Structure 1
Amino acid sequence: MEHWFSDLPAFRHDPLGFLMQRGSTATGPFVPLRLAPFPVYLVTDPDLVKPIMKMSEAEIDKGRLIHKLRAIVGKSSLTTSGPGQQERRAALHAQMARGIASSYVPQISALVRGTFAHLLCEEQFDAHRVSAALALRVIANALFGEGVLSKGDETALLHAVKLVEDDLAEGMFRLGPPAPWTWLRNRQRLHAARTIMSAVVQRTRKKAAASSLLASLNGLGLSDRDLEDEVLMILLAGHHTTGSAAAWLLYHIAADPNLAQSLAQEAKRCMDRGGELRASELPTASISLGVVREVLRLYPSAWWFSREVKARRVEIAGHTFRRGTSLLISPWHMHRDVRFWPEPERFDGARPSTSRAYLPFGAGPRACVGLGMAMLELQVIALELAATFNTELRMSMPPGLPRPSITLVPPSIPLALKPRSLGALEVAAE
């Protein structure tokens, strides 16, 4: 018998499989999902995503499925709307654009090289363990400025993020209130994380580099609490999305020696005589860009996002929705639907990413503000890794499906690194 929550057990058991099954068998652009005591619809037509995301905030905006995350990241730009949120997004976007054009490439390259060089001493390592830590260092550098954080501050931030990341992931799947003991545990963890975050932000606020994201946010005159909310949101989002995608990137490079060789050749073409990547070359480095886009197709940074109807009634594609209705959009489903992609489960770095069903960072004016930064980071990782190292896969079977959390967390992927033969690279490039 169907009721308000009749789909909830299947969703909790296998969110990815549930969304794929409901989306791929859809006969219309909207599929009703019985997940909550209010109407929820899965949007299955990619042509409707941008129109939905472009609608005015008075008609459709962030709703209860997003607002519940305020318990973790407060009233950050992830969970709020209006002029204040737009001002924060504009400041972050402007600073990231400047960094992408000037300073981020050498900073990211240095962090990537240092990370991979240390791994030469390990017999093998887990891809996600390494990529998640690397992604956090990269976003911390962009947030505070190169060299601003001490080793102690970096360790403290890592600990603060770990305190709240599991609670944030759990909150994404919980549609009702938590049990009292869960609420108390989460509250204690959040308090500890905020105490750490506040101490680090206050220590670094005045000495943050002028080119940092923190300096841009400082210029908006935010309160201490609002600034800390924004910092925590940036660390969580930048850490998880890029870190998980980077692990899948390492896997596909290790699994395909021909791909690794092609990336090595492209890296050589993009480097100056001193062996440094030239930022001006990266926008036309088609092999690495294609590989990054394909990784994000198969493992999108945001595997679902939602919007809520705010007006009394809203009409979309001939369907009328009442106030309080949630519209769920799943890139995981759209990126793997045979209606939009030939052989969608196959990795193909040369696959065109022009499909209307490609939206790893959302769509329209509310797309992820860090998409350019994430793309750049992944591209630099691919090129720096392939240019200097051979990556060996230490498993006989392909990895299983990711675990849906804040992003798509990879299973264990054991890898090993060996220095690439410079002679072989020279011959291959001729």
Structure 2
Amino acid sequence: MSRTQSDFRFAHAPGALPGLGHALRVWKAPLPFLRSLSDQGDLVRVRLGRKPVYLVCHPELADQVLRDSRAFDTGGPGKDEMRALFGNGILTCPNATHKRVRRVVQPALQRDRIARCISTMVATVDAMTSAWRSGAPFDVTREMTDMAATTGVRVMFSAQITEHYRDEVDACLKEINQGVYDEVLTSALGVRWLFPHRTRRFHRTLARYRQAVDEVIRAYRRSGTEHADILSALLAAHDDADEPMSENEVRENVINMFTAATAAGPASTMAWALHLLDRHPDIARRVQHEIDSVLGSGPPNEAAVERLELTRQVVLETLRLYPHGWLITRCVATPVELAGQILPPGTSVVVSPYQMHRQPHLFPDPERFDPDRWTQGTPGPRGAYIPFGNGSRQCPGKNLALTEILVVLARVLQNWTLTGQAEPPGLAAPRVDMMLEAPPLVMTPHLRGSRS
């Protein structure tokens, strides 16, 4: 039964420093700091410098924040900086324009279009794994990052006329994804002036990226050809009034979607899943058996992906432990009551999927990798499992990301076994960036015997 607002516990986070608040702890050790707050209350007031930020630690409150788009607009720490960098696309635009943008963008991410991308995903995996040598170790995080970035480029821009631009976009995105977290965080804290050279280099790369995207869009328009990719769908899209997107809207949504598609999120999930399977050989054997039974010697296709039930559970459990977005930020648009507190407009509210997913009363034994907890459907109460957010602003690329991760894992494990180094389980720790990223994970590929 839902509780009244006054039933929730409200607390002030301890350990604030004069002038800095909790900014130093957020900078140095954000994940341990976040996890410590659920013991304090269901809604916890944190200070970044002198600015208050409210962290939601209860799934009912998280559900309220993420679903009530009238009271909670996109915004909060870092969001304004992201909008300045990447424009008003599907991920960064305010709620006032989001409904229209989502309706225009959604056809590009429909199930049939995603299904047509599977062959591109398989071809990318095959091309990149052809360079692997059995018994020669490599950093699986780097391999998965390159694989996801290449797949994202080919799914977004399939036309041959864009080959040069694909290379330029790929190079820019690698630099942008490495530097955007520092750029956003230092800007939000007002200390970007301390790093002028890094800031100038980042913005030069961002300008190159925008220019390359503009050139790709112009090339598509000149060709007048429909390509089986996301950019073609965006160019052909119309809203409810039968109006197409403006040139600026196309550019900003391409930049939003493409940056998200090629960021470290899906790649990290692939790398973590391979690492976790190596640490849990009994589960790995079951997954291998399922892949062999479903795929045989053929490549993954839409029907096969639907039948990979245990493999999907592995992906969902990996996303519970290591969600792409470790923070979801909102800004109060109208006065609202949350956990008995009246929050005025402009107040920053944060939901942390990482913190929510690791609360023991929501997910028993939360540190344990247990795909079987998904056998009966989504575990935990409503609002507790939110790796892609929730409500109308749930990540629009959720199904594309899940499909890509499943296809890559299935194709890799169909032909290879990957074994890790002998370090103790749990030694690997995530890297905190705009997304929660896997660290370097050295693994050794072994071509499976029947395919030697």
Counterpart residue number, 1:339:
361
Work out whether residues 100 and 376 of structure 1, in 8 Å CA contact, stay in contact via their aligned partners in 2. Answer: no
| Aligned residue pair count | 418
DSSP-derived class of the 1:260 partner: helix
Note if 1:41 corresponds to 2:54.
Answer: yes
Counterpart residue number, 2:32:
17
Aligned residue among 424, 441, 446 for 1:413 = 441
DSSP-derived class of the 1:232 partner: helix
Gaps of 5+ in 2: 1-15, 238-243
Work out whether residues 90 and 257 of structure 2, in 8 Å CA contact, stay in contact via their aligned partners in 1. Answer: no
With 213-222 and 60-69 compared, the bigger mean Cα shift is at 213-222
TM-score normalised per structure 2: 0.85
DSSP-derived class of the 1:118 partner: coil
Aligned residue among 169, 174, 189 for 1:157 = 169
CA–CA separation in structure 2 for the residues paired with 1:130 and 1:215: 28
Shift of 1:209: 4.1
Counterpart residue number, 2:219:
203
How do 1:107-146 residues align onto structure 2 when only pairs under 5 Å count? 107-120=120-133, 123-145=136-158
Shift of 1:162: 2.4
DSSP-derived class of the 2:330 partner: strand
Work out whether residues 45 and 54 of structure 2, in 8 Å CA contact, stay in contact via their aligned partners in 1. Answer: yes
CA–CA separation in structure 1 for the residues paired with 2:169 and 2:434: 18
Amino acid at match of 1:26: Q
With 132-141 and 100-109 compared, the bigger mean Cα shift is at 100-109
Counterpart residue number, 1:266:
290
Work out whether residues 74 and 95 of structure 2, in 8 Å CA contact, stay in contact via their aligned partners in 1. Answer: no
Distance 1:101 1:374, change over 3 A: closer
Aligned residue among 205, 219, 229 for 1:189 = 205
Shift of 1:359: 0.7
Note if 1:299 corresponds to 2:322.
Answer: yes
Q: CA RMSD in A?
A: 2.5
With 322-331 and 261-270 compared, the bigger mean Cα shift is at 261-270
CA–CA separation in structure 1 for the residues paired with 2:201 and 2:228: 38
CA-to-partner distance for each residue in 1:38-57, whole Å, 9 max, x for gaps? 33100011122222222133
CA–CA separation in structure 1 for the residues paired with 2:151 and 2:392: 25
Counterpart residue number, 2:338:
316
Counterpart residue number, 1:216:
233
How do 1:350-429 residues align onto structure 2 when only pairs under 5 Å count? 350-352=372-374, 353-356=378-381, 357-398=384-425, 399-422=427-450
Distance 1:47 1:64, change over 3 A: closer
Work out whether residues 139 and 441 of structure 2, in 8 Å CA contact, stay in contact via their aligned partners in 1. Answer: yes
Amino acid at match of 1:193: Y
Shift of 1:421: 2.1
Counterpart residue number, 1:244:
268
Distance 1:47 1:217, change over 3 A: same
Distance 1:253 1:113, change over 3 A: farther
Gaps of 5+ in 1: 425-430
Shift of 1:122: 7.7
Shift of 1:200: 3.3
With 157-166 and 128-137 compared, the bigger mean Cα shift is at 157-166
Percent of aligned pairs sharing the same letter: 23
Note if 1:53 corresponds to 2:66.
Answer: yes
CA-to-partner distance for each residue in 1:351-375, whole Å, 9 max, x for gaps? 2232231111101221101111111
Counterpart residue number, 2:110:
97
Amino acid at match of 2:358: R
Aligned residue among 176, 183, 208 for 1:171 = 183
DSSP-derived class of the 1:120 partner: coil
CA–CA separation in structure 2 for the residues paired with 1:409 and 1:19: 17
Shift of 1:83: 5.8
DSSP-derived class of the 1:354 partner: coil
Distance 1:56 1:413, change over 3 A: closer
Note if 1:30 corresponds to 2:49.
Answer: no
CA-to-partner distance for each residue in 1:22-43, whole Å, 9 max, x for gaps? 22x223x210001144331000
